[in-house]
Amino acid sequence: MNFDPKQAQDTAQKMQQMWTDAWGQLLQAFKPVDVGAVATSMQPLQAVGFSPERLAQLQKQYLDGVHALWNQSWGAGSSADAGGRSDRRFAAEEWGKNPLSAFSVAAYELQARTLNAMADAVQADEKTRARIRFSVEQFLAASAPSNFLAFNVEAQKKALETNGESLAAGMANLLKDIQQGHISMTDESRFEVGKNVATTEGAVVFQNELFQLIEYKPLTAKVYEKPFLMVPPCINKYYILDLQPDNSFIRNAVALGHRTFVVSWRNPDMSLAGKTWDDYIEDAIIKAIATVKEITGAKQINTLGFCVGGTMLSNGLAVLAARGDDSVASATFLTTLIDFTETGILDVFIDENFVRLREMQMGQGGLMAGQDLASTFSFLRPNDLVWNYVVGNYLKGETPPAFDLLYWNCDSTNLPGPYYAWYLRNFYLENKLVQPGGVTVCGEKLDLRQVKLPVYVYGSREDHIVPIGGAYASTQVLPGKKRFVMGASGHIAGVINPPAKKKRSHWTREDGKFPAAVDDWIAGATEHPGSWWDDWAAWLKGHAGKQIAAPKTYGRAPGFKALEAAPGSYVRQKA
């Protein structure tokens, strides 16, 4: 079979259009998602093509697979191998007992192999290839037979066993999710902020229009003289660090004897639609540091930033360094991007056109809707965080089990448009933070070479939002004494991993070397069973100073008092 180059090029362009259209249609099904912005970001950076020889080979393999599929006997019981697959969507034995469903799975798997092979064979720049692979993943996740009642034998069986009650329950679940604006990942009725999540005892001791500052009640008779401030990401609620008492990073810090403060971000509404990156650094990060010092009377404090909170903290520290302010004794960065060279799967969205569109939409004012952000992050893992719940909630009529982390994941937050657009351009697109003087924040040209304080840098090995290489890259730009630790699992599960659970592993390296590539660091690292929390606790203790009597009241300094009990009112605001 012969193909000329023009035919190969035409085929490539048609497939690219099919993938783009499929992605747009998929997002249309899950409003509210900004389909226009995502469609813009998914356009190819250059023309795509195939080697005629490789295209011919793939077509022959596909036709051979179709021929074998049609020649297979699909009588009942003859295709048991369709069940028991490693793909959990089709692992139940019912898939092998129903001829129609077994055939649909086999045909789907043939299609998946072919499309994935074609995506791998595309001749284009690497970013376009990544976008095509991502689009193929979305298309295949959406078109799986398990997503359709006509083929999903497990859902059919449950409907028969319940006399149709599962279908009625599924319809009720669907209507409820449409009403609330997102797919239920957990039984949200089982959780209440301040009642069974975010329960560590404390009080709000300061607030402005951007954040509330929470001080936690000491659990020890003595505390370290240098107080400890945590900055969570403002794209999520802070209580990821305070889910339940047994997995609360905040409670753990308090129990270790640290006088602990946490920034609880306000969920922006239109009154904050004009807020900028500078506003958040000056009036939140730097203000929180100064307020903790003023309340405690300490000359220096220790700090921690998580994800985007870490990026913001690094900006605040660079501004303070430019001003000759040494208020911060140490910083911990958890799954944080400072060098945006390696941004993982999110890179498929980011280019000049996408960023310019966002600037046009909201750069001068507006809100980036929290549900848009949440949907985007869910579709980064479509089978686990989207279609799994479509099948369970709607086809099978199940109520997902209660899970605190997924409750938090559904509690979305908005972002001010100017803040978001500036962040995209200057960091994700142009990576200016690592360029000395490359970006001006709060009137100061930032130079991370001046941020010379000791740092603890943590990255998760399977993180798809902040890849391990992206987290490790901070060691190459921060000049002070540093420690890098790698944990197992992903962006959240790797961080929220209390020692008592005895789960996962972490890796350290004691020779003080930080080679340029993370793989070279890993090659010289040692694996340790269990959580990294104890390693971090020992490190922070070395920077916390002597112990002093724990305060008996909140906000002890003049002008500061308990405004309301933790977790405060800002964290309860809904997007």
Round to whole Å and give the CA distance between 494 and 498.
10
Q: Which H or E run includes 155?
A: helix 153-161
Cis peptide before 32 (omega within 30 of 0): yes
Tokens representing residue 76 in the block: 């009942």
Q: Which H or E run includes 533?
A: helix 533-541
Dihedral sign, Cα of residue 283, residue 248, residue 192, residue 411 = positive
Kindly state the DSSP code that residue 402 receives in the 8-state scheme: P
> Strand 260-265 vs strand 211-216: parallel, antiparallel, or unpaired?
antiparallel
C-alpha dihedral (462, 464, 465, 469), degrees to nearest 10: 60
Residue carrying the six token digits 């730097």: 286
Greatest alpha-carbon pair distance for the chain in Å reads 85
Q: Is 307 a catalytic residue?
A: yes
**Other beta carbons within 10 Å of 555:** 21
Cβ atoms of 467 and 303 within 8 Å: the answer is no
Round to whole Å and give the CA distance between 151 and 155.
9
C-alpha distances out from residue 127 to 48, 408, 430, 561, Å: 11, 32, 15, 52
Catalytic, out of 234, 307, 410, 442:
307
Round to whole Å and give the CA distance between 376 and 385.
11
Which residues lie closer than 8 Å to 106 by C-beta, 6 or more apart? Answer: 69, 72, 79, 82
Residue 230, classed as helix, strand or coil, is strand
Which residues lie closer than 8 Å to 310 by C-beta, 6 or more apart? Answer: 231, 304, 333, 334, 335, 336, 337, 338
Helices (H) and strands (E) in the chain — how many of each? 22, 17
**Other beta carbons within 10 Å of 50:** 22
470 closest CA partner among 431, 508, 497: 431
The angle formed by the CA atoms of residues 555, 330 and 432, to the nearest 5 degrees, is 110
Tokens representing residue 538 in the block: 């020992």
Segments in 263-385 forming alpha helices (H): 277-280, 287-296, 308-322, 352-362, 370-379, 382
Round to whole Å and give the CA distance between 450 and 479.
8
- Active site residue ranges: 307
